[in-house]
Every structure is written in structure tokens, then in C-alpha cells.
Structure 1
Amino acid sequence: MELDSTDRTRMHGGMTDQIARIRITLEDMKPAIWRRVELPVTNSLKTLHLAIQACMLFENYHLFQFDIGDAAYGIRFDDDDAFMVRTRDAANMRISKLAERGITSFTYTYDFGDNWRHRIEIEEISSTIPGTNYPRFVDGERRAPPEDVGGTPGFEEFLEAMSKPRHPERKSMIEWYGRPFDPADISPDEISARMAKLAKRRAQGKAAYADAKSRDS
């Protein structure tokens, strides 16, 4: 997928008031589990990670990694260089930089044990809507797997047990998960609430930066 000339013009015409519409699709799932979100292009991959956590209702318990071409972005640790780890800091790569380079499709992996791989697609660059707080949730389908369910095989077993009232493992699964599981219910209100918290943190960060800048001037 490539950005058209209009999108590229927008990117170079003023990044501070531009947003990226991004589709997030969990790989190897049928029916598809996906979300669509909008983030300012000035946001980093770290913020995109937090937005994915929010809209998939993950709990940010585990490590993550974006794979973009030959580069990997995630969390850097002090001893990474000693162990020849090549992971770059996700906080240092902005969405705008990817779009400017024509990169609109890449992968995001969360929890290297369960190995949840997502296809990330930058669908469109557009102007912000006045009065709208970003990042924001747009739409999506199908509920994402619970944390630590055991990867794709474990999730399939979980779904089977939850869908059959007489399944021998259903009671234990409900006790483990804490409630029944409806694969069609993505809990949009909960997602929007989580995204609103993320947007509030962004607004507070911008306000603090502006205040510090005014004091220095």
C-alpha cells in the first residue's frame, strides 16, 4: 500500500495538524480480528504500541516489537549492545517519518511467548477534526485473545470451551478468565475509555512542554 500524492503533500505541508488512519489486524485469525485507530503523525511507535494495547484490550504485560524492513523497534535495555541486540527505541521513530519514506505496512508483535503478530497498515493521512482528541478508536471487529491464553492453539481451545455449555473445560476457563467470553463483543466503550486516557496523557504532555518552552523564552 502506498500513500498517494495528496497524502505526501499533506505530510510535508504541516505535520502538527495531520493524523494517520491505521488498521491493525491480528494475523492467522479467522474470522479476522482487527481495529482501526487514528493517531497524530507526530506520535511515535511507542504511542502506537500503547494505542494497540488499548484497542485490543491487552494489558501491556509483555514486550513488543515493530519489524519495519530490516529494522526492529521496541524497548531498549542497558545491556542490549553487549548482547548484540539490534532493537531500536520505539519512542524515537515517528509515524510521520515512516510515511515520508513511503512505509505504510509493517508488523507488530506482542508477547513473544504467545507471539501475537499484527499487520499494521497506514491507510490514510488526513487533517485533524477540530475539537477531536487523539489518539482515538474508529472501528473494529471480533474480540482479541485474553492475555496469556497460550497463543493461537490456546486461544482456539479457549474459544471452543467457552462456546459449548457442556464442555468439560468451560467452568475452569470462565474461572480463569473471570467471566463468559463473547468473541463478537469488542467492548467499544471500554476501548474508547482507554483511548481517551491515552489522549489525555498526550494533551497533558503537550501542555507541560508548552509551559516549559514559554518559561525558557
Structure 2
Amino acid sequence: MPRQIFQLMVSLAGVRPPVWRRVLVPGGFTLDRLHRVLQHAIGWRDCHLHSFEIDGRQYGEPDPGGELALRDELDVRLDAVVGKGDRFRYTYDFGDWWEHDLVVEDVCAADPDERYPACVDGERAAPPEGVGGPEGYAVLLAALADPAHPEHATMREWAGPAFDPAGFAADRATTLLRRCC
């Protein structure tokens, strides 16, 4: 039987305009590897804790002294917990609380001429880390869009001159995915 590839639509919840990615991931990837795929596809830096919620169960990196009872993501394959049409959630940074809605759009046989994982589509850059979640990101976008905004100069300096909220390149994300996932 050929390897199964899961086509996932990943959307950052509570963010307008939408930030989203479409990724192709082997079904045999563990949730830990899917975490790395999401980090690189979205554009995060993997500086914070994360978890998955699938069918009411929490998965992540277990912390024996932590408050969350997480099942170990290293022990769980993607194809063992979701199938075509399923929805689940990935939360990154429990301070800023970035929720990602994931939908399994399709499950198909791997193309022998392709390499996986891959980011095949998407829109907009990830918000900068530490911006304060969706609410803080909305403030940042408003300030950057309006040179007369009282926080424009401060926010531009904080975000850095290279930050372009509209910028995203699927081929660059795929290159990063193939180097580390």
C-alpha cells in the first residue's frame, strides 16, 4: 500500500485578514513532527509550549509537574487520530494563545515523484512572536497601516523593517520544512 499523504488546511483563529496554509504531510508523521511542520509552515520560531486537541483529547510534550494532562505526542501518528474531513486544533504559546484550526481536506496516495512534507499554498505572514495574541496583532496591523497612528513608529521599530504582514512564499516554507521535518 502506498504511503498516505494528508492535505491539511491550517488557519490561524481570530486573525483578520486570514493567515492560513495548506500543507501535505505523511500520515505516518507523529504529532511531534506535525508540530514542527506547523511551526515552519506558519512561520513561528518554536519558542513556546504547544498542544493539540483532537476529539477532546490533549496531546503534547508531557510535563509531569504540569497542570495539563497531555498524552505524549511522540507516541501518536497523525493517521491514527484523524481522517478525511476531521477537524482538530493546535495551540501555540499559552501566553499569546495562538489557536490554529486544522481540517483534513483530503487523504491520498503519495506521489512517488514528490517530496514531503510540503507547503502548497497560503496567505499572509505569521504574526510576530510576543505581539500579544490576536488582539495585540490587530493593534499592530492598525498601527502599521496608518502612518498617522500614534504607535506607528514604535510598532514599526518593534516589528522590524523586514516584517510584511502580507508576505508569504509557499516555496520558502517548503524549503524550511524539508530541512527540518
TM-score (norm 1): 0.77
User: Which is helix-richer, 1 or 2?
Assistant: 1
* Partner deviation per Cα, 1:87-133 (whole Å, 9 max, x = no partner): 11111111110236x77211111001111111111111111112322
**Match runs of 1:136-175 below 5 Å:** 136-175=118-157
Answering whether residue 69 of structure 2 is matched by residue 91 of structure 1, we say no
Residue of 53, 61, 79 corresponding to 2:65: 79
Using the TM superposition, give the Cα deviation of residue 46 of structure 1 relative to its aligned residue in structure 2, in angstroms: 0.9
Using the TM superposition, give the Cα deviation of residue 189 of structure 1 relative to its aligned residue in structure 2, in angstroms: 4.1
| 3-state SS in 1 of match to 2:82 | helix
Of the structure 1 ranges 164-173 and 86-95, higher mean CA displacement relative to structure 2 is found in 164-173
Using the TM superposition, give the Cα deviation of residue 180 of structure 1 relative to its aligned residue in structure 2, in angstroms: 4.8
Q: In structure 2, list runs of 5 or more residues that go unmatched.
A: none
Q: How many residues are treated as equivalent by the alignment?
A: 181
Who is 2:3 aligned against? Answer: 17
Does structure 1 conserve the Cα–Cα contact (< 8 Å) formed by 2:19 and 2:125?
A: yes
Who is 2:101 aligned against? Answer: 119
TM-score (norm 2): 0.91
> Identity over the aligned pairs, expressed in percent?
35
Please tell me the residue identity of whatever aligns with 1:132: E
CA RMSD of aligned residues (A): 1.9
Residue of 3, 8, 19 corresponding to 1:33: 19
Does structure 2 conserve the Cα–Cα contact (< 8 Å) formed by 1:162 and 1:180?
A: no
Using the TM superposition, give the Cα deviation of residue 18 of structure 1 relative to its aligned residue in structure 2, in angstroms: 1.4
* In structure 2, C-alpha distance between the alignment counterparts of 1:22 and 1:32, rounded to whole Å: 16
Please tell me the residue identity of whatever aligns with 1:87: L
Cα distance 1:189–1:124, how it changes in 2: closer, same or farther (>3 A)?
Answer: closer
User: Which is strand-richer, 1 or 2?
Assistant: 2
Answering whether residue 166 of structure 2 is matched by residue 184 of structure 1, we say yes
Does structure 2 conserve the Cα–Cα contact (< 8 Å) formed by 1:37 and 1:138?
A: yes
| 3-state SS in 2 of match to 1:47 | helix
| 3-state SS in 1 of match to 2:129 | coil
* In structure 2, C-alpha distance between the alignment counterparts of 1:103 and 1:137, rounded to whole Å: 19
Answering whether residue 56 of structure 2 is matched by residue 56 of structure 1, we say no
* In structure 2, C-alpha distance between the alignment counterparts of 1:103 and 1:93, rounded to whole Å: 19
| 3-state SS in 2 of match to 1:20 | strand
| 3-state SS in 2 of match to 1:191 | helix
| 3-state SS in 2 of match to 1:171 | helix
| 3-state SS in 2 of match to 1:48 | helix
| 3-state SS in 1 of match to 2:105 | strand
Task: Choose 1 or 2 for highest CA Rg.
Answer: 1
| 3-state SS in 1 of match to 2:35 | helix
Using the TM superposition, give the Cα deviation of residue 27 of structure 1 relative to its aligned residue in structure 2, in angstroms: 1.0
Please tell me the residue identity of whatever aligns with 2:77: R
| 3-state SS in 2 of match to 1:161 | helix
Using the TM superposition, give the Cα deviation of residue 70 of structure 1 relative to its aligned residue in structure 2, in angstroms: 2.4
* In structure 1, C-alpha distance between the alignment counterparts of 2:78 and 2:55, rounded to whole Å: 15
Q: In structure 1, list runs of 5 or more residues that go unmatched.
A: 1-13, 200-217
